[in-house]
Amino acid sequence: MVAHIAYGIFYTPVDMNTWCNQRHNVPNVFPETAQSDPYIPSITTLNFPTPVLGTTAVSFTALQLHAPPQYVQQWSTSLEKQLGKETTVEVGYLGAGGFHLQRSHLINNAQPGPGLIQPRRPFPKISFVANTVFPAAVAATMTSSTFPATTINMLENTSQSWYDAGYVNVRRRYARGLSFLANYTFAKALENAPDFRSPMFEAATPQNNDDLKAEKGPGCDIRQRFALSAVYNPPVYGLNHLTRTLTRDWRGSVEYQVQTGFPLTISVFGDTANAGTVVGENPIRANSTGQSIFSSGTRNSTTWFNPSAFAAPPAYTYGDVSRNSVYGPDLQTMDLALVRSFSLSKKSQFEGRAEFFNALNHTNLGTPNRFVNTSSFGSITEVATPGREIQVSVRISF
């Protein structure tokens, strides 16, 4: 028996997007948005006037000064036992913690409430520092170095992640035509902020920017996963020349995986809290009604979960559902390959290959519609993987 233990700290490279985003702010770029009370419309035109520094309300991206470096601590331990000459079994634990991870913090959002958002923002106007040099075209028309500010997306290194997993690996080295690797993992992944660069099935920004603790919840949380890959070269049957010719140089392989579904956040389409948000994001979450989420008749493409378990929050309020509190469909795939080789000469070879992707033709449902105030809420209208695909190919090596 062999015992393994390991620990490491891994620092991530500096995300240059954080710095490049500053080139997209005033005075170089004027990002204008028009946000209206969703219940009392106030937008009368879709046209924006010519931007003027000091008059035009703009959004911008800010960065945290002296931000600490992002890093991950990782630790693991396992016991490995050999079974026979070719096979080993390993039982282990893997943990990881992410620290000072970057998050999106909308520091200029208003409190939920009716009416125009701009007068309710904590920083309705901000100013450039004294003696700032402006581009000539901007300086020619500007009215002031103090300007109205809408959304301020502060990129700050203040979030954290947690990952714990137990696993079992079974390995067989190639012997008597067979080799394989099988793995089962039971894990839990948490984080206290969505990954705003590439969020899963949720908004990239917090719901309530004054209560970031409420953002803690599952991350890319695949609770259970099993994977198997194997290669087999069958023996040659040497009864006679014909059987040797027919049975030699065959090779088969299989890749099989099955896992539990991804988490998703039940949300509201639109800024129903009227607090302000980044354009394209829908961070307001639904309310829980107390009904069972997975009641009888659910977990199918028409009704993956019980829509009556959730409701849109009252106007000008936040929802009480947690981040990523519902899990989507499981995933299962099997790929097969069958290969036959023929020697053409001492230095050349002909190979025929047939491959079957999703050989079981299993329907892997996609993510259910997660917006409570839409007609298709709770239903699934897409698949996560294509149906069975068969590919036949030949190759000549020389």
| Predicted confidence (pLDDT) at residue 315 exceeds the cutoff of 80 | yes
| Predicted confidence (pLDDT) at residue 34 exceeds the cutoff of 80 | yes
* Distance from C-alpha of 335 to C-alpha of 337, rounded to nearest angstrom: 7
Whole-number CA gyration radius for the chain: 28
Residue 321 banded pLDDT, cuts 50, 70, 90 = very high
Predicted local confidence at residue 212, as pLDDT: 94
154's tokens: 């502060």
Residue 217 banded pLDDT, cuts 50, 70, 90 = very high
| Predicted confidence (pLDDT) at residue 24 exceeds the cutoff of 90 | no
Percentage above 90 pLDDT, the chain: 78
The predicted-structure confidence for 270-295, as pLDDT tens digits, reads as follows: 999 999 988 788 999 999 999 999 99
Predicted local confidence at residue 89, as pLDDT: 97
Residue 196 banded pLDDT, cuts 50, 70, 90 = confident
The predicted-structure confidence for 123-180, as pLDDT tens digits, reads as follows: 999 999 999 999 999 999 999 999 999 999 999 999 999 999 999 999 999 998 999 9
Burial class of residue 207 in the structure, from the number of CB atoms within 10 Å of its CB (0-12 exposed, 13-18 middle, 19+ buried):
buried
* Distance from C-alpha of 50 to C-alpha of 27, rounded to nearest angstrom: 14
Residue 82 banded pLDDT, cuts 50, 70, 90 = very high
Domain boundaries, the chain: 2-397
Mean pLDDT within 82-90: 94
Predicted local confidence at residue 158, as pLDDT: 95
Predicted local confidence at residue 174, as pLDDT: 92
The closest of 382, 302, 323, 300 to 200, measured between CA atoms, is: 323
The predicted-structure confidence for 236-269, as pLDDT tens digits, reads as follows: 887 787 788 778 889 999 999 999 999 999 999 9
Mean pLDDT within 89-117: 96
The closest of 256, 83, 93 to 173, measured between CA atoms, is: 83
Predicted local confidence at residue 93, as pLDDT: 98
The predicted-structure confidence for 43-64, as pLDDT tens digits, reads as follows: 888 888 899 999 999 998 999 9
Predicted local confidence at residue 344, as pLDDT: 82
Residue 316 banded pLDDT, cuts 50, 70, 90 = very high
Percentage above 70 pLDDT, the chain: 100
At 359, is the secondary structure helix, strand, or coil?
coil
Residues sharing a CB contact under 8 Å with residue 312, sequence separation 6 or more, in sequence order: 268, 272, 286, 287, 319, 372, 373
Predicted local confidence at residue 343, as pLDDT: 83
Residue 363 banded pLDDT, cuts 50, 70, 90 = very high
Predicted local confidence at residue 189, as pLDDT: 97
Predicted local confidence at residue 48, as pLDDT: 87
Burial class of residue 225 in the structure, from the number of CB atoms within 10 Å of its CB (0-12 exposed, 13-18 middle, 19+ buried):
middle
How many angstroms separate the Cα of 48 from the Cα of each of 33, 37, 51, 98, 221?
9, 18, 8, 42, 42
| Predicted confidence (pLDDT) at residue 16 exceeds the cutoff of 90 | no
Cis preceding-peptide flag for 27 (omega within 30 of 0): yes
| Predicted confidence (pLDDT) at residue 42 exceeds the cutoff of 90 | no
Residue 224 banded pLDDT, cuts 50, 70, 90 = very high
| Predicted confidence (pLDDT) at residue 310 exceeds the cutoff of 80 | yes
Predicted local confidence at residue 248, as pLDDT: 84
327's tokens: 């899990």
